[in-house]
């Protein structure tokens, strides 16, 4: 018989749910110690290897799926002093995505580590004894490395959240600017070269870089020099077209930014939709 002692009733019942999934029998009961309620979970485990593996798996999944997010929230509130629930939930969403492998570019900044193996190993050492196990003490001392890793994850998630907030403010600012601009050109076609865009007007005539530079509203670059790309975003904002046809890959960061700024004005089309003959000047063809 193994016994876990919890300070939070929710933790005891949640672990019991995970053990039930593994068909591990357990009994929940409440006790009083020094006039404070404690919540015990007694677990029946046979000495067979398969039974112990199920126990280890159930507890490990409880720690990784439930407690890691609880500890992350605690870090946000107590170490980083976040109070707004909306902000906390947005940062926790980034933490969750990182831990689920959905933000590989962020997780690359932290060394690879097998959380399941670590928790499993910590449990193995702990369950060799016969005394009741305080889950809070187990978390604090036996899972110290996991707590330290979570601190790094939360720190990265906060930085990512701040960057995303700045990006949203940037997009909102440019939308407001666009709304105030008078339409200078009805339609623009943008052909993605992979490292930039070639501009074509509504008659599919290429617009030179000199013409684009001349069209830029200089106040735009003066007031927002750090935010506005003078090669693509600034000319488009200055011309304020009613329709922008973009030929390229939607995964491109700049294309996503253009979609966010210009919204329904943008139509994204495959590169193959753009007429090849317009990409090569006549003198190039003559020289072939």
Categorize the per-residue pLDDT at 102 as very low, low, confident or very high, splitting at 50, 70 and 90: very high
Cβ-contact 260, 236 below 8 angstroms: no
Categorize the per-residue pLDDT at 249 as very low, low, confident or very high, splitting at 50, 70 and 90: confident
**Range of weakest confidence among 48-57, 85-94, 102-111, 232-241:** 48-57
pLDDT tens for 195-231 read: 889 999 999 999 999 999 999 988 887 776 556 778 8
Residue 178 has pLDDT above 70, yes or no: yes
Three-class SS state of 95: helix
Q: Which string of DSSP letters, residue by residue, matches 146-184?
A: HHHHHHHHHHHHHHHHHHHHHHHHHHHHHHHHHHHSPPS
**Helix residue spans in 100-143 (DSSP H):** 104-107, 115-126, 135-137
**Sequence-distant (≥ 6) Cβ neighbours of residue 153 within 8 angstroms:** 72, 95, 98, 99, 110
Residue 288 has pLDDT above 60, yes or no: no
Question: How many of the other CB atoms lie within 10 Å of CB of 230?
Answer: 13
Query: pTM here?
Result: 0.82
**% of the chain exceeding 90 in pLDDT:** 68
Phi and psi at residue 37, to the nearest 5°: -75, 135
The domain segmentation of the chain, as residue ranges, is 2-174, 181-287
**Range of weakest confidence among 9-13, 215-219, 233-237:** 215-219
Cβ-contact 192, 271 below 8 angstroms: yes
**Sequence-distant (≥ 6) Cβ neighbours of residue 213 within 8 angstroms:** 230, 235
**Range of weakest confidence among 29-33, 144-148, 198-202, 239-243:** 29-33
Find the mean pLDDT for residues 158-179: 93
Beta sheet of 2-6, edge-to-edge order: 26-33, 36-43, 2-6, 133-134
Looking at per-residue pLDDT, the higher value among 93 and 193 belongs to: 93
Residue 285 has pLDDT above 70, yes or no: no
Look at residue 239 in the predicted model and tell me its pLDDT. 95
Categorize the per-residue pLDDT at 279 as very low, low, confident or very high, splitting at 50, 70 and 90: confident
Look at residue 232 in the predicted model and tell me its pLDDT. 92
**Rg for the chain (alpha carbons), in Å?**
29
Phi and psi at residue 273, to the nearest 5°: -75, -15
Closest CA relative to residue 229, chosen from 181, 196, 206? 196
The whole-chain average pLDDT of the chain stands at: 89
Three-class SS state of 288: coil
Cα 173 from Cα 195, distance rounded (Å) = 25
Cα 258 from Cα 252, distance rounded (Å) = 10
Cβ-contact 239, 185 below 8 angstroms: yes
Cα 24 from Cα 59, distance rounded (Å) = 11
Look at residue 282 in the predicted model and tell me its pLDDT. 45
Residue 75 has pLDDT above 80, yes or no: yes
H/E element, 36: strand 36-43
């Amino acid at each position: 018989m193994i016994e876990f002692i919890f300070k939070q009733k929710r933790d005891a019942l949640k672990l019991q749910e995970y053990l039930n999934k593994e068909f591990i029998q357990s009994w929940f009961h409440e006790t009083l110690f020094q006039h404070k309620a404690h919540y015990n979970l007694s677990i029946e485990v046979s000495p067979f290897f398969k039974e112990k593996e199920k126990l280890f798996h159930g507890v490990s999944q409880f720690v990784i799926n439930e407690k890691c997010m609880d500890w992350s929230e605690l870090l946000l509130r107590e170490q980083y002093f976040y109070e707004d629930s909306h902000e906390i939930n947005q940062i926790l969403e980034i933490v969750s995505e990182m831990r689920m492998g959905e933000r590989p570019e962020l997780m690359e900044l932290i060394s690879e580590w097998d959380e399941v193996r670590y928790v499993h190993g910590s449990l193995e050492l702990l369950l060799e004894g016969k005394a009741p196990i305080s889950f809070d003490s187990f978390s604090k001392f036996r899972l110290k490395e996991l707590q330290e890793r979570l601190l790094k994850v939360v720190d990265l998630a906060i930085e990512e959240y701040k960057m995303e907030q700045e990006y949203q403010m940037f997009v909102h600012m440019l939308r407001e600017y666009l709304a105030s601009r008078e339409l200078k050109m009805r339609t623009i076609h943008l052909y993605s070269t992979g490292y930039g865009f070639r501009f074509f007007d509504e008659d599919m005539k290429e617009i030179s870089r000199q013409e684009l530079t001349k069209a830029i509203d200089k106040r735009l670059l003066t007031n927002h020099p750090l935010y506005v790309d003078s090669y693509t975003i600034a000319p488009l904002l200055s011309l304020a077209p009613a329709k922008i046809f973009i030929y390229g890959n939607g995964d491109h960061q700049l294309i996503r930014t253009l979609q966010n700024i210009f919204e329904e004005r943008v139509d994204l089309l495959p590169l193959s939709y753009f007429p090849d003959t317009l990409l090569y000047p006549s003198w190039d063809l003559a020289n072939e």
